[in-house]
């Protein structure tokens, strides 16, 4: 069976070629350490030159080295060689994702690994750097992990039918490995580590039969959906929500990294059942009827995610619909020649018609754009 291999990327491949015996290079490691969380545009010309030089050395070392030398030089490639039992030709039909920190050094190291694998005939290989992912601060790291979780939820489930999913965690930073080890329990068929030393063998952790206790979080569905849409809720409103699902930002409660993970695993079931009651939104019977006619789980989920977003935007603007008009995803606007009737977008072809009064949005109809436009009442 074909594989999807997700590899975490560290920077040892880039720093290993530093000559510690060279007087001129003794300070290089310290310079790179001090600039570890910086993007390329924020580096001094001196550090840029150090990275460029080390990148050239690393590439030359990989190109000239035998397999054992290559495996010793790169933890990431060590894991990949282990998966393929040192026969990279097995991977020509596989998909590789390299997860790098959003830093100059992280991306540069990922580029070295990508180029090497492409030279070996593995062409379906992409670098993914979650925006802001670095160890510069707890906030940067947590937000990067949150983005990574959303990316995994979008990428992996559609591939699972045709591919076996591997998390190659041999390389990368320990902090990132720790998170990915837990996240991998939900997304990976196997998590890969490796013993240290020459001739090292793979350590594989199979996917465990982990299931989310949906019943335990179902009572909090509306609050979780609002936080997923970007709402920060007052602490007193979420005292009943399990603390492990919550983080704090600007004195408001938001989804924690683990809350985001649990929500991504649960939302399809929670948002595809009954029509939820969101603050600032009311429904006419015609809208409830349209919702009940939806057969697709994905369509129900998308609609309720949009309603959560609209509710969140209304709360942020104290019910002022002008906030909805400036949001590109909602595209709230007024119908021409249809009285006080407005509408907003769910997807490119699906619309909701509505009226607004006293800070409350009353939803009239939902459906395909031509149908709703013709009969918005």
Q: At what angle do helices 138-159 and 174-187 cross, to 10 degrees?
A: 30
- 234, 153: one domain: no
- 360, 242: one domain: no
- 89, 202: one domain: yes
pTM of this structure? 0.79
- 39, 135: one domain: yes
Residues of the chain with pLDDT under 70: 196-200
Q: How far apart are the first and last CA of the chain?
A: 52
**The total number of structural domains that make up the chain:** 3
| pLDDT of res. 132 | 85
- 172, 236: one domain: no
Structural domain range at position 319: 271-374
368 occurs within a structural domain: yes
Q: Of how many residues is the chain composed?
A: 377
174 occurs within a structural domain: yes
- 32, 165: one domain: yes
Q: Is 364 helix (H, G, I), strand (E, B) or coil?
A: strand
- 31, 155: one domain: yes
| pLDDT of res. 196 | 63
Position of tokens 């080390």? 54
- 165, 45: one domain: yes
DSSP secondary structure string for all residues of 167-224: EE-SSS-HHHHHHHHHHHHHH-SEEEEE-SSTT--EEEEEPP-----HHHHGGGHHHH
- 56, 96: one domain: yes
- 142, 285: one domain: no
Distance CA 193, CA 201 (A): 9
Q: Which residues contact 217 (CB under 8 A, 6 or more apart)?
A: 224, 242, 245, 262, 266, 270
108 occurs within a structural domain: yes
152 occurs within a structural domain: yes
Which CATH number covers residue 10? 3.40.50.10770
Domain-ending residue, one of 181, 206, 231: 206
Distance CA 332, CA 345 (A): 7
Which CATH number covers residue 321? 3.30.2310.20
Distance CA 149, CA 130 (A): 10
- 219, 310: one domain: no
Q: Which residues contact 252 (CB under 8 A, 6 or more apart)?
A: 232, 233, 234, 235
CB of 145 within 8 A of CB of 8? Answer: no
DSSP secondary structure string for all residues of 123-150: --EEEE--TT-SSS-HHHHHHHHHHHHH
260 occurs within a structural domain: no
How many helices and strands in the chain, by DSSP H and E?
15, 13
142 occurs within a structural domain: yes
106 occurs within a structural domain: yes
CB of 179 within 8 A of CB of 147? Answer: no
- 200, 278: one domain: no
292 occurs within a structural domain: yes
- pLDDT tens-digit readout, 36-76: 999 999 999 999 999 999 999 999 999 887 898 899 889 99
- pLDDT tens-digit readout, 223-236: 999 999 999 999 99
Token pair belonging to 336:
């021409």
């Amino acid at each position: 069976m074909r594989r999807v291999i997700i590899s975490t990327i560290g920077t040892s491949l880039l720093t290993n070629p530093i000559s510690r015996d060279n007087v001129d290079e003794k300070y290089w490691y310290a310079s790179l350490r001090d600039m570890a969380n910086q993007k390329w545009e924020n580096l001094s010309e001196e550090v840029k030159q150090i990275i460029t030089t080390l990148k050239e050395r690393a590439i030359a070392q990989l190109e000239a080295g035998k397999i054992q030398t290559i495996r010793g030089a790169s933890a990431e490639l060590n894991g990949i060689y282990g998966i393929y039992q040192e026969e990279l030709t097995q991977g020509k039909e596989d998909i590789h994702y390299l997860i790098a920190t959003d830093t100059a050094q992280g991306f540069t190291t990922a580029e070295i690994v990508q180029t090497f694998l492409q030279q070996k005939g593995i062409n379906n290989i992409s670098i993914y750097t979650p925006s802001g992912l670095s160890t510069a601060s707890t906030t940067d790291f947590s937000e990067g992990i949150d983005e990574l979780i959303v990316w995994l939820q979008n990428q992996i489930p559609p591939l699972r039918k045709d591919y076996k999913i591997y998390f190659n965690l041999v390389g990368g930073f320990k902090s990132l490995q720790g998170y990915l080890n837990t996240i991998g329990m939900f997304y990976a068929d196997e998590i890969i580590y490796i013993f240290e030393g020459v001739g090292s063998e793979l350590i594989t952790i199979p996917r465990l039969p982990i299931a989310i206790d949906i019943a335990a979080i179902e009572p909090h569905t509306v609050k979780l959906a609002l936080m997923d849409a970007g709402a920060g809720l007052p602490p007193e409103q979420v005292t009943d929500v399990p603390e492990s699902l919550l983080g704090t930002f600007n004195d408001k409660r938001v989804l924690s990294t683990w809350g985001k993970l649990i929500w991504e695993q649960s939302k399809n079931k929670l948002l595809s059942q009954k029509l939820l009651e969101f603050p600032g939104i009311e429904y006419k019977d015609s809208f409830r009827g349209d919702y009940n006619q939806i057969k697709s789980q994905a369509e129900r989920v998308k609609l309720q995610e949009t309603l959560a977003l609209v509710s969140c935007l209304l709360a942020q603007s104290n019910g002022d619909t002008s906030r909805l008009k400036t949001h590109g995803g909602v595209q709230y606007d007024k119908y021409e020649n249809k009285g006080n009737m407005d509408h907003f977008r769910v997807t490119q072809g699906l619309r909701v018609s509505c009226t607004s009064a006293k800070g409350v949005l009353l939803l009239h109809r939902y459906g395909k754009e031509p149908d709703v436009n013709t009969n918005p009442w």
